[in-house]
Amino acid sequence: MTQDSVKRVLLVAAENDALHGVKVGGMADVIRDLPPALAICEVIADVAMPNYGFLAQRYHAMHMVDIEVCFAGEHHTVAVYRMPRPQNKDDIAAVSQTDADDSIAQIYLFDHPLFNHHGKVYCDGSADRPFAEDATKFALFSLCVATSLVQGVLPRVDVLHLHDWHTAMVAMLRSCVDEFAVLKALPCVFTIHNLALQGIRPFTGDDSSFGHWFPQYMGKLNPIADNSLFDPRYDNCINPMRMGIVLSDKVHLVSPTYAREVLIPSDYIKGFFGGEGLEKDLIAKCQQGKLVGIINGCVYDEVNNTDEPHHHDYAALLLKAENTLIKWQAKVANVNVIDSIALTRISQYKHALLANTQLLKNSQVVPDTDRFLLTFVGRLTEQKMLILLQPFIDAEGQTTTKTVLDVIVESLKRHQPSGVFMLLGSGDLHIAKALQATAARYDNFLFLHGYDEALSEQLYQSGSLFLMPSSFEPCGISQMLAMREGQPCLVHGVGGLNDTIIDNVSGWVFNGETLAAQAQALVERVNQVFELYGSDTWQQVKHNAAKQRFSWDDVAKQYLAKLYVTNANDH
């Protein structure tokens, strides 16, 4: 298939930030931004995703058809809706029959009770049955997509593009089940956004297992199933991520560096996250020339000159944070301790700001435009927080009772007495508890336990330095968003962070061969960067950061040239 022959692709994904309420991670940004970028290349990119019980209703999507599938030994009816991709996710105008136009990008929503979980994309699940509920619903979703393609419910596409383990069973059905064999003629691309999450479940013996989902296919799978369905570490378990890797024609990693890292076995003791048990399959794909690393893009508004520094309004930021915390309280019966600490800290900051304003009138202090703000926006996961929460090892090599985060906050106090570290994020409750303890000990650390898009944007705009010490980072979008607003970043030199930040040029980078070395390098780098603040070097790095461009238009051209173009041996 040539580049010119690709006219329509189908993106199959669990998330999509083109719509409200279905963003959890970076995948949602990709599914939001890729279709308009491909449209510039004259390629229509449709999206297929679960309805999650609310999207079709919110956007008044048009009901197309009901399809019948056999799942878990029973016949199920699944409703399929369609709607044009909205220009803005706040657009909720009713979709008319004339809007159902195959010449424009469409979003196809699959509706079934199994996809509904209180308006959330993913279930919380339990430690003893990881991925159980999610794996079941995405197995049904994959069956629905494959059935719709075979039955012609969805328009003919030139490329099938699957995203992460949630959709990998479409590739399995295409390759392993005869009734879907017609889909083998359709080139299949599999994008890995995060190799650490693989959706592993038992092959049999559980309500959430392959045998329970697809009893009609047991004993009838094509021979390739033996070398593609099962996890290499647990022979009684299936691994959807592995299915996507082995059974797709092209495998895409979301940055060139990450595409190299996943070929190396993970070594958690050394703090290295690589192939996560699937490196042999990825090496095989690489040797076939079917493994591609392409960095994700970012959307830029060229009307705004990001080269001009933001003169942030510290008072407005505090008010926004305070109002966000209050908004969160509407969803809970009682104010929790974490939010109570945050609200108290904000009150203290506001009182200090008022006193500072009085002194400013007498020309006794500098304006708050020079206040140092260290910022972090991200999920509270081991991936993002492992290095920060490591015990700090002092100059004598002794392990202290302080964490790396503690030491960074103390360093901030020494270098910038009025500075504040603002951290916005939600996720792992054990990590939240650790951050709560730090927030209680240090008055210059503000932990905002949750996520709010408007507040995150204000942190990107107002921050002096964005901290992103991820243990691994397939691509990362936060560093791009911070740089876009003229905020330089200090990052761990892994994955997409290595591909987007040039040390001492457009930001600062730390590294280390072990977890302990990474922690030590982060602390040393933080101190060095704090000392640079306000210098000519700082201003040049800030200027360079604002000038960086990772355009989706360029990325879309790479998709066409490297992912969507196939030859007869690819499928």
Distance CA 409, CA 419 (A): 9
Of 279, 222, 257, 290, residue with least CA distance to 564: 290
Is residue 207 located within the same domain as residue 330? no
Same domain, 75 and 128: yes
Tens of pLDDT, residues 357-413: 776 666 655 555 578 999 999 999 999 999 999 999 988 889 999 999 999 999 999
Task: Look at residue 94 in the predicted model and tell me its pLDDT.
Answer: 47
Claim to verify: residue 223 and residue 366 sit in the same structural domain: no
Give the pLDDT of residue 97: 45
Low-confidence ranges of the chain (pLDDT < 70): 1, 92-100, 302-311, 359-369, 566-571
307 in a structural domain: no
pLDDT per position as a tens digit, 451-485: 999 999 999 999 999 999 999 999 999 999 999 99
> The CATH number of the domain where 343 resides is what?
3.40.50.2000
Counted domains in the chain: 2
pLDDT digits (tens, 9 = 90+) for 329-354: 988 888 899 999 999 999 999 998 88
In 3-state terms, what secondary structure has residue 27? helix
Do 562 and 500 fall into the same domain?
no
Verify that 63 and 208 share a domain, yes or no: yes
Q: Say how far apart CA 40 and CA 530 lie, in whole Å.
A: 42
Whether 232 and 378 share a structural domain = no
- At residue 527, the pLDDT reads 97
Is 283 within the bounds of a domain?
A: yes
Same domain, 277 and 344: no
**Residue 67: what pLDDT?**
98
In a domain, 530, yes or no: yes
Instruction: State the angle between helix axes of 453-462 and 314-329 in degrees (0 to 180), rounded to the nearest 10.
Output: 160
Q: What are phi and psi of 48, to 5 degrees?
A: -115, 130
Burial of 116 (0-12, 13-18, 19+ CB in 10 A): middle
472 and 336 part of one domain: yes
Q: What is the pLDDT of residues 423-458, one digit of tens each?
A: 999 999 999 999 999 999 999 999 999 999 999 999
Domain that holds residue 244: 3-297+554-570
Q: What is the mean pLDDT of the chain?
A: 92
Is residue 309 one of the residues assigned to a domain? no
**Per-residue confidence (pLDDT) for residue 99, from 0 to 100:** 52
Same domain, 318 and 392: yes
Residue 252 resides in a domain:
yes
Residue 304 lies in a domain: no
Q: Are residues 96 and 111 in the same domain?
A: yes
Q: Is 21 domain-assigned?
A: yes
Q: Are 85 and 35 in contact (CB under 8 A)?
A: yes
The pLDDT score that the predictor gives to residue 570 is 59
What would you report as the CA-atom Rg of the chain, rounded to the nearest whole angstrom? Answer: 25
- 283 lies in the same domain as 333: no
Asked if residue 411 belongs to a domain, the reply is yes
Residue 393's beta-bridge partner residues? 399
Q: How far apart are CA 157 and CA 10, in angstroms?
A: 6
276: left (phi over 0), alpha (psi -120 to 50) or beta: left
Angle of CA points 108, 114, 117, to nearest 5°: 95
Looking at the fold, whether 141 and 189 belong to one and the same domain comes out as yes
